[in-house]
Amino acid sequence: MERGVVVPHDYHIHTRFSCDGQQSMEEVCERALALGIPEICFTEHADYTPGDPCSFHFKPDAYFQALNQVREQYGDRLLIRAGAEMGESHRFPYETEILMDEYPFDYIIGSLHWVGDEFIFAREYFERHGKHDAYQKYFEELLVMVRVGGFDVVGHFDVAKRYGYDVCGPFDPHDHEEIIREVLNACVEVGIGLEVNTSTLRRPVNEPSPSLTILRWYRELGGEIVTLGSDAHELAHVGYALEDMVELVQAAGFKHVTQFVDRQAEFIPLS
Residues forming the site for Zn ion (CB under 5 A): 85, 111, 231
Q: How far is the CB of 20 from Zn ion (least distance, A)?
A: 9
CA dihedral 215, 244, 234, 36 (to 10 degrees): -120
Of the candidates 5, 2, 1, the one whose C-alpha atom is nearest the C-alpha of residue 270 is 5
Judged by beta carbon, residue 39 or residue 85, the one nearer Zn ion is: 85
Residue nearest to Zn ion (CB): 111
Q: How far is the CB of 27 from Zn ion (least distance, A)?
A: 17
Judged by beta carbon, residue 24 or residue 250, the one nearer Zn ion is: 24
Judged by beta carbon, residue 5 or residue 211, the one nearer Zn ion is: 211
Of the candidates 173, 98, 107, 103, the one whose C-alpha atom is nearest the C-alpha of residue 142 is 173
Judged by beta carbon, residue 85 or residue 141, the one nearer Zn ion is: 85
Q: How far is the CB of 108 from Zn ion (least distance, A)?
A: 12
Contact 195, 214 (CB under 8 A): no
Gap between the Cα atoms of 136 and 57, Å rounded: 30
Judged by beta carbon, residue 37 or residue 221, the one nearer Zn ion is: 37
Judged by beta carbon, residue 119 or residue 267, the one nearer Zn ion is: 119
Q: How far is the CB of 231 from Zn ion (least distance, A)?
A: 4
Gap between the Cα atoms of 238 and 249, Å rounded: 19
DSSP class per residue in 58-114: --HHHHHHHHHHHHHHHTTT-EEEEEEEEESGGG-HHHHHHHHHHS--SEEEEE--E
CA-based end-to-end distance of the chain: 12
Phi, psi (degrees; rounded to nearest 5) at 2: -60, -30
Q: How far is the CB of 151 from Zn ion (least distance, A)?
A: 12
Q: How far is the CB of 12 from Zn ion (least distance, A)?
A: 6
Gap between the Cα atoms of 155 and 110, Å rounded: 6
Contact 19, 48 (CB under 8 A): no
Q: How far is the CB of 92 from Zn ion (least distance, A)?
A: 15
210 preceded by a cis bond (ω within 30 of 0): yes
Judged by beta carbon, residue 111 or residue 200, the one nearer Zn ion is: 111
